[in-house]
Structure 1
Amino acid sequence: MLPRSGQDMRRGTVVIVEPYSSGNMLAPAFRQGGFSPCAVTLSGLSAPNSATLRLSDFDEHIAYDGGELGPPVGRLRALDPVAIVPGTHTGVKLADELAAVLTPKLANAPDLGSARHHKGDMIAAVAAADLPTIRSLCTSDVGDALTWITRERLSGRDLVVKPVDSAGTDSVRFVPGGHDLRAVVTGLLGSANRYGSPISEVLVQEHVKGVEYAVDTFSYEGRHTVNDIVRYHKVSSRRHIALYASMEILPMDAPGNDAIIGYVKGALDALGITFGAAHTEVMVTEDGPLLIEVNARLSGGGHPWTCELATGDNSVDRMVRYLAGDRNIPDGYPLQLTTLAIFFAVRSAGVVSGLSRLDAIVDLPSCYHLQVNVQDGDYVPETSDLFDAQRLGMAVLAHSDPAQVAADHREVRRIAAEAGRPGGFTIDPNRGGME
C-alpha cells in the first residue's frame, strides 16, 4: 500500500498486533507522531470487541492464520519496523514473538514470554522473585485440584477458579466454601473463553479479601513509569464475582500507594517487562499487596483516554514520545481532575427499556462523558464480566472538587436504578451485590 499523501515516513513503521479495544488509540497517535502504523490481526478468533477495529487507520494490514511465523516475519521485515506492540490481550503473545525477532532492542525478555500471558506461569515467576502471591494451583485435572485443597488446608474455604488465558474477568468463578469445586473446574475445562479459544487449564486460588487496585505503567529500557493508580469497586452476585461497579483514579501520593507501586514494579521485573505498556491488578490485603494479574498491554475499554482526562498523560502518548526520542518520561503524574468511571450492569437477562432516563446524567456538574450502547427494545444478557458491561455503556465523572464527583456518583446510581431492567441499570454498591 502506498503512503498517504503528505504522510511523514521519516520515523518508520510501528506494528500493532490485534489493535482492538484501547489498542485502536495507537495508530492515530503514532501517525500524529510521524510513524506509519501497520496492523497485524489473528484469524480465527472471535474477538468480543471486534467492532473497535479501524483498519482505515493503518497503512498496512497483515492477517496471520496462527501457522508458521515465517511469512508474517518476512512481510514485516520488509517494513523495517521500529517497534512492535500489542493492542489487546490476544496480541500479547504474538507481539512478544515478533518483537524478539524483529526489534530485539525493544523486546521483553523472551525466556519469560509464557509468564506474560499464562496466569499460572505468571504467578510462579512472581513468586520466584520472592514477592508474596495468592496461593494458587495451575491444573487441567480436577483430581489434582482436590488434592491441592487438602494439602494446603483450604478445605471449606472460599476459592476462585479462572482460565489461565483470559481477560476482563472472563469465566472467573467464585466457589463459596469450595463446595462445588469439582463441578466448576469440570465445567470450565473444555469450554471456550470469550475469544473462542478452548480452556485447557485453570488456575485455582484461595479467595483473598481486600481492596483491588490497578496500576498502569509505561516501561522503557527497563525503567517503569507510573501513569495512574486506580481503585476499583467491584461487587458480587449469587452467580458472578468481581463485577465492575466503578473505578477511581487516585492521587499519586495517596496513602498506601508507595507499597503498591513497589510491588508492581517488582512484578514487572519478575516478568521481564522492559518496554511497553502494562496494566497490573493487585489486591491489597491486611498483609499487603498480592498479584491478581499483569496484563502486558494497554488497559482496555478506552481507559488511556480516562487517564489523560485525569492526569494530562497516558501510556499511548508516552510510548509515542519515547519512540520519537524523548528519554525524560516522568515516573508519576499530577492528578488534575478527580475522575471516576461508572459501569452499567443489569441484574437479569431480558429486554431493556426506559433508557431515556439516563439522559439526566449529562446535566450533572461533573459529567464529562455518557455512553449508552443499547437502546430500548434490545435484549441483553445478565452482566457477568467487563465485556458485558462495556456492551451496555458507562458514565465518566470528572471535576476539580472530589465532593462534587462523590455527590454526582450517588445521583448517577439513583438515576440508573430507574432505567434498563427490573432492578435498574447499575449495580447498587450499598446492597453488596445484585439480587
Structure 2
Amino acid sequence: MNRTVAIVDGYSTGNFLLPAFARLGVEAVHVQSTPELIAPLAPPRLAAYRENLVCADPGTTARELARHRPLAVLAGAEFGVRLADELSERLGLMTNGTRLSAARRDKFLMIEALRGAGIRCARQHRSADPEELRAWAEREGVHPVVVKPISSSGADNVHICRDGDAIVRAARAVMSARDLFQQPNTEALAQSYLDGTEYVVDMACSQGERYVCAVWEYRKRDIGCGRRIYDRDVLLDPGQDPVPELVAYVDTVLEALDIRHGAVHAEVIMTASGPVLVEVAARLNGGLNAGFQELCLGIDQAAATALAYARPGEFRRRYGGRTYTKLIEAFVHDTTTALDGIVEGVDEAVVEQITALPTVRDLTVKYRPGRRVRPTVDLPSSPLTVYMADADPAALEADYKAIGELKERVYRLTGPGPGE
C-alpha cells in the first residue's frame, strides 16, 4: 500500500499537514513551486520531508513525483493551489482538476464563476488603469468600493474607498506593491462593498463530501484611511444563526468552483440580502493552530484534511456531510500596535504575563530581533496572535482587556516610537 503524499508549497499552516499525515502512517514529499523559497512566509520544514522537488516545469515534476507513487498531491498554502491541481491531474489522483483552477486563485475569475452559476456575489471590475476603475464605479453607481490585489491573501492591501479619488489612490497603491507571495500586482480589483458581518467557514472534503471544521465570526476594528483590520475570530455554535445559512451558501460555492477534495477556507459576508462570498481558498485556514482547534473542536482542519486523503472511506463515514461540535468558548485575537522601530529584543517577562492569563492557550510572537515593526494596517502586520479559550465568556473578556494593556511592552525597539 502506498503511504506517501506530495505537498506543494507547505508554507505557514501547511506545516501542520506533515504531523497530521504522519499520525496516519503517511510520509510526504515536498514540491517547491518557485526556484527560491518565498521569504515573507513561514517556511516549510524541508528536513522533515522525504525529498524536496523544485519545480522547473510541471511535466518534469510529475515524472519525478511518479517515482514516489503518491496517493495524493495537495496544496500546503495558497501559492501552491494551481500546481497541486495540475500535478494531481497529470498523475491521475484525487484532484479538483485544472478546468477551474485559475478561478480558485484569481479573485475576479472566482466571483465571475459564481455569477455564471447564478450565485449571489459582488459586482466587480479589474484593470491596470486606476482611472478606469474610477469610471466603472461612477458608471455603475457602485460606492463604497473595495480595491485589492487580484491574487493575494490575509487582507493584504485591501482598501475601502468612498469616492473616485480614493479608488485611484488605492489602485495605485496596489499596483505599486507586490502581493503577499512577492508577485507584482499588474492589475487591481474593484468590487462593490459588502455591508455586513464577515465570517470564516472552514471545511475538509473528500470526493465531494465535506465536513464543516469550524465557523468563525470576524470582529474587526476601523483604523481610518479606508482600512479595517482583524481583531478577533470568535468560534460560533454550529446551530446558531447564521451558521446553517452560511454553510449552505458555501456548499453552492464549492460546486460552482468544482472543489471536491482537500481543505477549504471561505470568507463570507452576511448582507441584508443573504451570504455573499469575499473569497474562497482551496487550502487550510492561514490562521490554523492545530492544537488549539483540537481543544475547541475535537479535530483540527489539518487532521481532517489528512484523513480525507489518506483514508477517504473512513473520512466519509465519520465526517461526511456533518458539522463540528463546539467544545468550549474560544477566539483568536490578533493584536495591533502603534509602534514603529526595529526589534532589539522580546521581553520574555511580559510574554510570560500574557501566557499566564487563565484563558490564554497559546501565543505567537511574530517578530524576532532585527525585524521592523510598523503600525498595524493588515493581518501580516499584527505583532501577536493569542489563542484564547474558556468555559466562561466573562473570563475571556477580562483577559482580552489585560492583553490590550500588555501588548505594547512585548517588543523592545530601537528607532521611532508611536506617532514619530
Normalised to the residue count of structure 2, the TM-score between the two structures is 0.90
Task: State the shift of 1:223 in Å.
Answer: 1.6
- 2:132 match: 144
- On the 8 A contact 1:47/1:194 being kept in 2, the answer is no
Match of 1:162 in 2: 148
Partner in structure 2 of residue 271 of structure 1: 257
Q: CA deviation at 1:334?
A: 1.1
* Other structure's SS at 2:100 match: helix
Q: Identity across aligned pairs (percent)?
A: 29
Alignment partners' CA distance in 2, 1:374 and 1:110: 37
Written as runs of structure 1 = structure 2, the 5 A alignment for 1:72-83 is 72-83=61-72
Superposed displacement of residue 100, structure 1: 1.3
Give the residue type in structure 2 aligned to 1:97: E
User: For 1:208 and 1:36, how far apart are their aligned partners in 2?
Assistant: 43
Contact 1:15/1:85 (CA < 8 Å) preserved in 2? yes
8 Å contact from structure 2 (residues 2, 69) kept in 1: no
The answer to whether structure 1 residue 181 and structure 2 residue 181 are counterparts is no
CA 1:272–1:376: 2 relative to 1, 3 Å: closer
Match of residue 121, structure 1, among 109, 124, 127: 109
When the two chains are superposed, the root-mean-square deviation of aligned CA atoms in Å is 2.4
Give CA-to-partner distance per residue, 1:389-433, whole Å, 9 cap, x none.
2xx2221111122332233222222333666599xxxxxxxxxxx
Structure 1 residue 42 and structure 2 residue 33: aligned? yes
Instruction: Write the deviation string for residues 179-221 of structure 1: whole angstroms up to 9, x where unpaired.
Output: 2222322342353212221112221012222111000001111
Which residue of the other structure, out of 6, 12, 31, is the alignment partner of 2:3? 12
Distance, in Å, in 1 between the alignment partners of 2:105 and 2:128 is 17
Tell me by how many angstroms 1:124 deviates.
Answer: 0.5
Separation in structure 1 between the aligned mates of residue 342 and residue 394 of structure 2, nearest angstrom = 35
Pair 1:280 & 2:266 matched: yes
After TM superposition, give the deviation of residue 240 of structure 1 in Å.
6.0
Residues 319-354 of structure 1: per-residue CA shift (max 9 Å, x gap): 232322413132111111111111122124224688
- 2:292 counterpart residue number: 306
Distance, in Å, in 2 between the alignment partners of 1:50 and 1:185 is: 24
Q: Distance in 2 between matches of 1:45 and 1:170?
A: 22
Q: Do the aligned residues in 2 keep the contact of 1:11 with 1:34 (CA within 8 Å)? A: no
Q: How many residues align?
A: 408
After TM superposition, the structure 1 = structure 2 runs for residues 399-410 of structure 1, keeping only pairs within 5 Å, are 399-410=390-401
Q: Does 1:52 align with 2:43?
A: yes
Structure 1 segments unaligned to the other structure (5+ residues): 1-9, 423-433
The question of whether the paired residues in 1 share the 8 Å contact of 2:35 and 2:54 is answered with no
C-alpha distance in 1, partners of 2:225/2:153? 18
User: What per-residue deviation string (whole Å, max 9, x for no partner) do you get for residues 282-331 of structure 1?
Assistant: 11122221110001100113344432221011222122323224131321
- State how far apart, in whole Å, the 2-side matches of 1:171 and 1:12 are: 41
Note the 1:30-429 alignment, pairs <5 A.
30-44=21-35, 47-65=38-56, 68-104=57-93, 106-154=94-142, 157-189=143-175, 191-239=177-225, 241-322=227-308, 323-324=310-311, 325-326=313-314, 327-330=316-319, 331-351=322-342, 355=347, 356-374=349-367, 379-389=372-382, 392-416=383-407, 420=411
Cα 1:321/1:208, change in 2 over 3 Å: closer
Partner SS state of residue 224, structure 2 = coil
Aligned partner of 1:328: which letter?
Answer: R
Q: Distance in 2 between matches of 1:319 and 1:364?
A: 32
The 8 Å contact of residues 357 and 418 in structure 1, kept in 2 or not, is answered as yes
The structure-2 alpha-carbon separation of the partners of 1:247 and 1:421, relative to structure 1 and needing over 3 Å to count, comes to farther
Per the alignment, do residues 304 and 151 of structure 1 end up closer, same or farther by CA in structure 2, a change over 3 Å counting? farther
Shift of 1:176: 3.0
Q: Tell me by how many angstroms 1:177 deviates.
A: 2.6
- Does the Cα contact within 8 Å between 1:159 and 1:178 map onto a contact in 2? no
CA 1:371–1:182: 2 relative to 1, 3 Å: closer
Contact 2:88–2:97 (CA under 8 A) maintained in structure 1: no
> Alpha carbons of 1:138 and 1:329: their partners in 2 closer, same or farther (altered >3 Å)?
farther
Aligned residues of 1:283 and 1:289 also touching (Cα < 8 A): yes
Going from structure 1 to structure 2, the CA distance change for 1:269 and 1:381 (only over 3 Å counts) comes to same
1:232-266, Cα deviation, whole Å (9 max, x unpaired)? 11223234623121111111112211111111111
The answer on whether the counterparts of 2:200 and 2:268 sit within 8 Å (CA) in structure 1 is: yes
> How far does residue 373 in structure 1 lie from its aligned partner after superposition?
3.5
Amino acid aligned to 1:333: Y
* Range 308-317 or range 259-268, more displaced: 308-317
Partner residue, 2:416? none
- Name the CA distance, whole Å, in 2 between partners of 1:373 and 1:244: 15
Residues of 2 paired with 1:226 and 1:93: CA distance? 23
C-alpha separation in 1, matches of 2:259 and 2:132: 31
In 1, Cα distance between equivalents of 2:210 and 2:198: 21
Counterpart in 2 of 1:428? none
Pick closer, same or farther for the CA change 1:146–1:239 going to 2, 3 Å.
Answer: closer
Contact 1:318 1:329 in 2 (8 A): no
2: distance between equivalents of 1:313 and 1:81? Answer: 25
Q: What's the secondary structure of 2:376's corresponding residue?
A: coil
CA distance in 1, matches of 2:297, 2:18: 22
Q: Secondary structure at the match of 1:328?
A: helix
Single out whichever of 263-272 and 129-138 deviates more from structure 2. 129-138
SS in 1 for 2:84: helix
- The 1:36–1:162 alpha-carbon spacing in structure 2 relative to 1, beyond 3 Å, is same
Summarize the Cα distance change of 1:239–1:357 in structure 2 as closer, same or farther, 3 Å threshold: farther
